[in-house]
Amino acid sequence: MVSRETAPPAPDEARGVFTTDRLELAERYAAWLADAGTVRGLIGPREVPRLWERHLLNCGVLAEVIPENATVADLGSGAGLPGLVLAIARPDLSVTLVEPLLRRTTFLEEVAADLSLEQVRVVRGRAEVLHGSERFDVVTARALAPLDRLLGWAMPLVKDSGVLLAMKGETAEVEIADSREVWSSLGCASPELAVLGKGRVPSPTRVVRVAWAPGREVGWPLAPSPRGPGASSGRRSRKGRTR
């Protein structure tokens, strides 16, 4: 029999990532991860004590660099990281969770329904099922694949004015260098690496941002959002290719 875990309480840092009216939803999501998430094998039991530090806060800071009212596709969403966290933190976003495994999509649908996240849609399948039919303002992925492979899956889903935001670890710089031939052949701008939440959350988030339009560098944050200042920048249109 699989033992059920209890989520740790929200740390003080959570109040700087989630607004007061959304923090309760984040706490309920943490409870889902600790309980059903571990029972169904979506989250390892050893991750439960650090759910906030390594998962919810780590994903939550990504919401600060996403434009207002954006459409978002989260590839390989798994337990909903970062897709469900973004939907909790930013109710203005329309979030599509793309995940091929049935037990994971079932979990995602149950959580979205329980938290009344009406702007969330769950698609069972790989990124390719949406190629040629849908494109998004922002495509996200967390530790899904090396950047050279991820680009082929994600960029066909990115609008001409959109971006890929890939959450990466300490190998981000190496992955950018190793994928140069791929992003250049696809017609992408040079990938940018940013560290989000530094000094505000225990584990800052390293994000690789890839946009269309070669030669155009766009600063962070991408555009003004309800949670922080910023300025948007224009980019030339460039369509992607499937792998």
Residue numbers in the known binding site for S-adenosyl-L-methionine are 76, 81, 127-128, 142
| Residue given tokens 């039991």 in the structure block | 45
Contacts of 77 (CB under 8 A, 6+ apart): 83, 84, 97, 98, 99, 104, 108
Range list of H helices, 35-179? 38-39, 51, 57-60, 83-89, 102-114, 147-154, 172-178
Q: Which of 94, 86, 146 is nearest to 123 (CA)?
A: 94
* Structure-token pair, residue 198: 């530094």
Whole-number Å distance between alpha carbons of 19 and 218: 27
The H or E element spanning position 193 is: strand 192-196
**Please, are residues 10 and 27 in contact by the beta-carbon 8 Å criterion?**
yes
Whole-number Å distance between alpha carbons of 50 and 56: 9
